[in-house]
Amino acid sequence: MTGEGPTSAATPGARMTVPGAAGTAMPLAGHAKVATRDVSQAAEQVGRIFCAHRLTPLDRAQTFSAVHNSRRFPGGSINYVAYGGEVEIDPGCLERFFLLQIPLRGGADIRCAREVTETRPGRAASLLSPTRPAQMRWHASCGQVILMLDRAPLERTIAAYLGFPVDEIVFDPRLRLDQEPGRSIAAQVAHLARLAQDNGPDRDALLRQIGEAIGHTLLWQHGSNRRNALVGGPGQELPPPNRIATALEHIDAHLDQPLDLAALARHCGCSLRALQNAFKTHRGETLTEAVQRRRLALLRERLLACGSGDSVTDLMYACGFSHLGRAASAYRTAYGERPSDTLRRPGNSDYPTAEIQ
């Protein structure tokens, strides 16, 4: 697409032809923020909307131009950016936000560390993460719809999913547009851009909802350093052994109380799924089995230390059991006798106590 942008701030009265998607109007044309042929002015004005960056034209024979249309909403912004001529952009680390760049015309090469992502319309978009420096080369007449999502809300969202604080999310920088989830995400972004044209009073809430939905889709379906912990499966992050020791200490200190496993995971600084997998991997038992085994061992220790006049029921409740029939059955399976038999054993106060590991 070609469309006319606003009057250039560098050359009053001049008109600029800006690239977009063939056959459609320029996205967000009613929210023009930047239209200039001056490189320094473009870098300064676009930098105020995104972040400070270095902008370098690479084709001296090509007349430089820059257009930036932008609509802010709670949690992010939707943008259309186009450059005439090939340019190099070096923003360093974005710090405050994620940037999803979907090319409508032309393409760009995005370098994150040693990995280069080639983006093209309908084939691939780029997704920049706040803590990873990036360098971009936009090819001549490249125009992109860009969704900016604030970092803090997305990190709070995944922390709520996982049950522990998250210091960073690093997405895979390449999002394919010819397959899911990229195809659906691109459609959501396009829909958001169309809705953002209207300045109606109800638009901000709707744009925020769509932005949050896109963020959730990225978290659950696109590759990142947190996805395995979120969805489980091979390669899931496991907490270190000291987290397991912390869990066991907490369990032992609260065996006489109902145990909230989600609260236990938060106390250990990891997700419940991760803690459960760690117990299975490192101890060969589930978290629930570990709690029951330690309660049974505590019950046996107290049965052996008490006299025959004490109540088995009271001792079971004191060890955190709420279903006495199941507890008695589990005790018999573990020790080969009923709790009442242990309590009535002659001289049971001299019997070896159970060892908890």
Q: Report the chain's mean pLDDT, rounded to a whole number.
A: 85
Per-residue confidence (pLDDT) for residue 226, from 0 to 100? 87
Q: Residue 55 — φ and ψ, nearest 5°?
A: -120, 120
The rounded percent of the chain whose pLDDT value lies above 70 is 86
Q: Which two tokens stand for residue 236?
A: 């899931």
Report how far residue 190's alpha carbon sits from residue 227's, in angstroms, rounded to the nearest whole number.
25
Closest CA to 49 of 28, 34, 36: 34
Write the CATH number for 70: 2.60.120.10
Is 233 inside a domain boundary? Answer: no
Closest CA to 18 of 72, 77, 81: 81
pLDDT, tens digit (0-9, with 9 covering 90-100), for 129-140: 999 999 999 999
Same structural domain for residues 328 and 356?
yes
Give yes or no for a contact between 35 and 26, defined as CB atoms under 8 angstroms apart. Answer: no
Per-residue confidence (pLDDT) for residue 213, from 0 to 100? 94
Write the CATH number for 302: 1.10.10.60
Report how far residue 215's alpha carbon sits from residue 145's, in angstroms, rounded to the nearest whole number.
16
For the ranges 14-18, 226-230, 285-289, the maximum mean pLDDT occurs at 285-289
145 confidence band (pLDDT: 50, 70, 90): very high
14 confidence band (pLDDT: 50, 70, 90): very low
The average pLDDT across 206-226 equals 94
Per-residue confidence (pLDDT) for residue 234, from 0 to 100? 46
Give yes or no for a contact between 144 and 73, defined as CB atoms under 8 angstroms apart. Answer: no
Cα angle: 197, vertex 202, 208; to 5 degrees: 75
**What domain count does the chain have?**
2
Report how far residue 23's alpha carbon sits from residue 104's, in angstroms, rounded to the nearest whole number.
11
When mean pLDDT is compared across 20-24, 32-36, 103-107, 158-162, the lowest value belongs to 20-24
Same structural domain for residues 82 and 192?
yes
> Could you tell me which residue, 344 or 334, shows the higher pLDDT?
334
Kindly tell me if the per-residue pLDDT of 291 is higher than 50. yes
The average pLDDT across 38-59 equals 94
pLDDT, tens digit (0-9, with 9 covering 90-100), for 60-84: 767 899 999 999 999 999 999 999 8
Report how far residue 227's alpha carbon sits from residue 245's, in angstroms, rounded to the nearest whole number.
25
Is 348 inside a domain boundary? Answer: yes
**Hey, CA dihedral for 79, 84, 88, 90, is it positive or negative?**
negative
pLDDT, tens digit (0-9, with 9 covering 90-100), for 25-43: 899 999 999 999 999 999 9
Length of the chain: 357
Same structural domain for residues 33 and 159?
yes
Per-residue confidence (pLDDT) for residue 45, from 0 to 100? 95
Same structural domain for residues 214 and 252?
no
Q: Residue 64 — φ and ψ, nearest 5°?
A: -75, 140
Kindly tell me if the per-residue pLDDT of 292 is higher than 60. yes
Same structural domain for residues 209 and 272?
no
Same structural domain for residues 210 and 251?
no
Same structural domain for residues 216 and 269?
no
Is 63 inside a domain boundary? Answer: yes
- Cα–Cα distances (Å) from 229 to 72, 152, 212, 220, 353, in that order, read 32, 19, 20, 10, 39
Closest CA to 175 of 104, 224, 232: 224
Give yes or no for a contact between 20 and 26, defined as CB atoms under 8 angstroms apart. Answer: yes
Q: Which two tokens stand for residue 12?
A: 């009053």
> Could you tell me which residue, 271 or 293, shows the higher pLDDT?
293
> Could you tell me which residue, 89 or 326, shows the higher pLDDT?
89
Per-residue confidence (pLDDT) for residue 347, from 0 to 100? 55
